[in-house]
Amino acid sequence: MKKVSSKESMPKPFLRWAGGKTYLVPFLRSLVPPDVNRGTYWEPFLGAGSLFFALQPPRAVLADRNADLIACFRAVREHPDLILRHLQAYAARTSEEYYYAARARYNKSMDSTAKSAMFIYLNKTCFNGIWRVNKKGEFNVPYGHKKPPALPSRAELLSASAALRSAELRAGDFREVLKEAEAADFIYLDPPYPPLNKTAYFTHYTQEGFGVDSQIAVAKIATLLDKRGCRVLISNADTEFIRSLYDGFQILERGVTRWIRTDGKRYQADEILVLNYDIAA
């Protein structure tokens, strides 16, 4: 196996995820407790896993309701070279026509590893890295007109695979996953944000969607985790409703630039970081 240089081997997200936190990682790292590795790291809204890859904790439980996403992470961990071969085959044929044919194939049936590679291909070639499904659970995001798609290299897949060997991967609801979190564990909660307007539709990462009741459930589990002695960090949109859910928690503000608009233009949005512990000086 080819040796990978230290620069190349730094793990990073291999997916482009709507709402992903790559841009926010330096700030998030400044908020993470210095003794974060004293317990288990939990991330039940995994997405692209930006903070996990930045921290590389020795013990982690990574989860998401999106079973295909978790299957993709497992495939990258166990079969990075096979994933690469599939991606190279997809990249050789990429076009708008091929994208829609691949999307239709993905929504029917495929071999598990090939499907996980297709998950990456579709993610990298769809509009704005959005993962949205309809009520039948079918991926339905249009083509993103990116030529060529920025698919992960072999070095990137190998480094991601190595980092993921310290993690347990679970497909499931955050409430079930976090039942096992214990005192001193660190939990990063990054749920889908509430839509900014009535026409926004970017909460449909799974068939079930993620509405008001789900946001309330996140706040409730954060309170339970706090009582259990866990350290909790939460990212969310800065709205009056979201703020009202976290009375008694410390709230930090953070302005960000986002791309999630149907016209592809940037817009300014405010986020908050909610935490239940003191930040190291």
In this structure, the answer to whether residues 85 and 55 fall within a common structural domain is no
Domain that holds residue 113: 78-154
End position of a domain, from candidates 154, 184, 205: 154
Point out the least confidently predicted range of 26-30, 39-43, 164-168, 260-264.
260-264
Write out pLDDT tens, residues 232-266.
999 999 999 999 999 999 999 986 655 454 455 55
Q: Is 249 part of any domain? A: yes
Share of the chain above pLDDT 70, in %: 86
Domain count, the chain: 2
Q: So what's the pLDDT on residue 7?
A: 46
Q: What is the CA radius of gyration of the chain?
A: 19
Strand 60-64: give its sheet, edge to edge. Answer: 167-171, 60-64, 41-43, 186-189, 231-237, 267-275, 250-258
In this structure, the answer to whether residues 113 and 226 fall within a common structural domain is no
161: left (phi over 0), alpha (psi -120 to 50) or beta: alpha
Q: Is 4 part of any domain? A: no
Q: How many Å apart are CA 260 and CA 267, to the nearest integer? A: 8
End position of a domain, from candidates 93, 125, 154: 154
- Contacting residues for 199 by C-beta, under 8 A, at least 6 apart: none
In this structure, the answer to whether residues 203 and 98 fall within a common structural domain is no
Q: Which two tokens stand for residue 48?
A: 């692209």
